Structure 1
Amino acid sequence: MVSHPVHPGNTAFVTGGASGIGLGIAQAMLDAGLNVVVADVRADHLDRAREALAPAGERALCIRLNVGDRDDWRRSREIVEERWRKLHILCLNAGVGVLGSMVESEAADWEWSTAVNLGGVLNGVEAFLPHMRGHGEPAHIIATSSMGGLIVANDGGIYSSAKYGVVALMEGLRRDLAGTSVSASVLCPAAVNTNIFDHERMRPEAFNSGITRDEDELNRAEALARNILSHGRSPREVGAMVYEALVANAPYVFTDNGVRPTLVARRDALLASAGAL
C-alpha cells in the first residue's frame, strides 16, 4: 500500500471543482494545507469559486477546463508543472446528468454523457498519470462515479452506462497500479445537494438531444431533482469523506448506507442467476 499523499504543500487538481462535490473536495484539500487547482468549464462557477476560495490566497488557482478537450488537459498539466512542479492528487469529478428514456434517446444523448462522464476521466488519467508516476512521490487518482455506477435508476440508463464505466476504469487502474507510488479510488455518491441535473440547459449545440423537453417539463424535472438532492449530503461533508478515504487509501467511497438494500438485492439476483447454471 502506498503512503497517502494528503500532506501540506502537496498539490491537488479537481475537475468540476467550482461547484458541488468538486468545490467541497477543493475546500477539504485546502483545509488540509494543500495547493489546489480548481478546474471547471463554466466561467460563472469559476468566478464564484474564486471568491469563495480567496482566503486560501495563492494556494488556490481556478482555471477553465473542458474535460473532453485533450489540448485543454495538456495546457492544464503545463500550468501545474510550471506553478507547483508536481501533482499528487487528481480528482476527476466533472460530470453531467443526462436523464431520459433510452427508447427515446439519440446518439447525441449518449455522446454527451460519455464524452464528459467517462471521456473526461479517461482524458485526465492520460494527461496526468505519467507525470504522477514519474515524480515517484505518493499520489492518488480518485474519480467520481455515482450510485448510478452500481445500480440503474428510472430514466438513468444513459447516465449509468458511463458511470458504470468509471467504476470499471478505476477498479482496473487500482489493480494495474498495485505496488507503485500511485493508487486509485472511485467515489460513488448517493444524494448530494448539487446542481448535477441542471446541466441540460448547458448542453453544447454539438450534442443536441433526441430526448426533447419543453420548458415546463424541463422546469418540473429540475425541481424534482433539486428536491431529492436537497435532502442529501452537503458538498462539504462529501469533501471531508474524500479526504478520509485518501488518507486510508480506500478503494471505494460511499456517502451513505441508505442504498445498501438495493445493492444487496442486486448482489442476490446476480448470485441466484449464477447458481442456476
Structure 2
Amino acid sequence: MEHKDKVVVITGAANGIGAQLARDYAAEGATLALADIDEPNLTAVAQELTADGVRLISEVVDVADADAVAAFAETTYEAFGRVDYCFSNAGVISVGAIWEEPLPDWEWLWGTNVMGTVHMIHAFIPRMTAQGEESHFITTASIAGLLTVENSPSYVASKFAALSLTEVLELQLQDAGSPVKAHAICPGIVKTDLMNCPRHRRPGTWDPDDPYFGSADFTKRLAAATMSMEQVGIPVEEAVRTIIQGVDDGTFYILTHPAYNPAIVGRTQGIVDGVRPSKVRR
C-alpha cells in the first residue's frame, strides 16, 4: 500500500515498536504525529527524522491523561487536517504476584494500557469517521492478550482488556457504518526497552521504596521477564514489518510470532473443554 503523504499518528513513539513504526512510515514518505511521555527520546527520534526531511509534529503526552490526548488530537488535526493511521501504541509493563504487587502498579498499567486506548478512541475516532474515507485505528495489544503469562498479572489483564476493547470497537464501527477499520497488534516478545518503562513513572504515583520491590519474588519475576526480552525477543524491525504489512492487508489480529499459534489454539480448546490454565511453553 502507498504510504507517501499519509498522516500517521503514533503514541509510545520514543522507543521500541513506536519508534520503529515512525522510522518505517517516514522512509515511505508519510507525515507523522508522534507522542510519548519520554521527552528526551521523543526529541531524539523527532530530530533524527526531521534531519531526513520528514514532515512531523511531536508532543510529550501521557495517554493516561484524557485532556492531554484530546489536546494532541486537536494539534494533529490543526497541523495536518486528517489522520490515515492512528496507532494507540503506548504501553507499560510490571511484574509481581497478584496479592503482593502494589495497587499503584495496577492503576498505572490500566491507566496507560487500557484507558490510554479509550482516550485515543474518544479523541480520534469521531474525527477519523467524519473524514468519510477509509482509515485505520490500530491498538498495540500483545500475545499476552491471547495467552496468559504468569509473571505479569496486571500487564496480562490490561492486554486482554485492550484486545477485547478493540474487538468491540471494530463491531461498533461496522454498526455505525464508519469507514474506519480497527486492528489489534498481538506481538510476542520483541527486543525493546519495555522493561525499563518504570523510569517514566511520575513521582507521587508510586513508592519505589515499597518492600515488595526488594523481595525475592519480585526479583525472580523481573529477572525472568528481562531474560526473555533479551534472549528470546525478535528484532523490532522484523516485528514492525509484519505489523505494517498486516494493516495494509486488512488483518484484524496481527500476530508477529507464528510459533505461538498452536498455544493459542490449545488455549481456545482448553476453554471449551473446561480445563485448568497451564503455563505457555516457550
Q: What is the TM-score of this pair, normalised by structure 1?
A: 0.89
Partner Cα separation in structure 2 for residue 226 and residue 22 of structure 1 = 20
Please give the per-residue CA displacement for 1:38-59, whole angstroms capped at 9, x wherever unaligned: 1110112112212332344242
In the TM superposition, residue 225 of structure 1 has moved relative to its aligned partner by 3.6
Question: How far 1:146 moved relative to its partner?
Answer: 0.8
Deviations 1:153-209 (A, max 9, x none): 122211111110111011111111124310101001101011111122332234315
- Residue 241 of structure 1: aligned partner: 242
Higher mean C-alpha displacement, 186-195 vs 148-157: 148-157
**CA separation of 1:223/1:100 partners in 2, compared to 1, >3 Å: closer, same or farther?**
closer
Distance, in Å, in 2 between the alignment partners of 1:254 and 1:84 is 31
What corresponds to 1:189 in structure 2? Answer: 187
Amino acid at match of 1:267: T
Quote the offset at 1:232 in angstroms.
1.8
Letter of the aligned partner of 2:212 in structure 1? Answer: T
Q: Which amino acid aligns with 2:241?
A: A
Return 5+ residue gaps in structure 1 as ranges.
Answer: none
What's the offset of the Cα at 1:215?
A: 9.9
Partner of 2:160: 164
Please give the residue correspondences for 1:1-277 in structure 2 after superposition, counting only pairs within 5 Å. Answer: 7-178=3-174, 179-208=177-206, 212-214=212-214, 224-230=224-230, 231-273=232-274
Secondary structure class of the residue paired with 1:112: helix
User: Would the aligned equivalents of 2:191 and 2:234 in 1 still touch at CA under 8 Å?
Assistant: yes
Amino acid at match of 2:214: D
Q: Which has the higher contact order (CA 8 A, sep 6+)?
A: 1
How high is the sequence identity, in percent, across the aligned residues? Answer: 25
Contact 1:102 1:155 in 2 (8 A): no
* Aligned AA (1:17): A
Q: Which range moves more in the overlay, 216-225 or 107-116?
A: 216-225
Alpha-carbon shift at residue 89 of structure 1 (Å): 0.8
**Residue 196 of structure 1 aligns to which amino acid in structure 2?**
L
In the alignment, the residues of structure 2 paired with residue 247 and residue 102 of structure 1 have an alpha-carbon distance, to the nearest angstrom, of 38
Partners of 1:27 and 1:239 within 8 A in 2: no
**In structure 1, C-alpha distance between the alignment counterparts of 2:198 and 2:36, rounded to whole Å:** 16
RMSD: 2.3
> Per-residue displacement from partner, 1:107-161 (whole Å, max 9, x unpaired)?
3121111000101000001000110001112111000011111112122211111
Aligned AA (1:200) = P
CA-CA distance at 1:252 after TM superposition: 0.7
Partner letter of residue 208 of structure 1? W
How many Å separate the matches in 1 of 2:50 and 2:224?
Answer: 33
How many residues are treated as equivalent by the alignment?
A: 270
CA spacing shift, 1:212–1:90, aligned 2, 3 Å: same
Q: Deviations over 1:87-106 (max 9, x none)?
A: 11110010111111101023
The amino acid of 1:249's aligned partner reads G
Q: 1:223 Cα shift?
A: 5.6
Distance 2:171 2:236 in 1: 29
Q: Which amino acid aligns with 1:245?
A: G
User: In the alignment, is the contact (CA less than 8 A) between 2:128 and 2:180 conserved in 1?
Assistant: yes
- Stretch moving more, 211-220 or 129-138: 211-220
Aligned residue identity for 2:95: L
* Counterparts of 1:181 and 1:155, CA distance in 2: 39
Partner of 2:280: none
Q: 1:102 to 1:222 in 2, by over 3 A?
A: closer
Q: Partners of 1:199 and 1:221 in 2: how far apart?
A: 16
Structure 1 Cα separation of the partners of residues 221 and 36 of structure 2: 24
Any idea what SS the aligned residue of 1:261 has?
helix
Paired with 1:92 and 1:218, the residues of 2 have a C-alpha distance of 29
Write the distance in 2 (CA, Å) between the matches of 1:148 and 1:116: 16
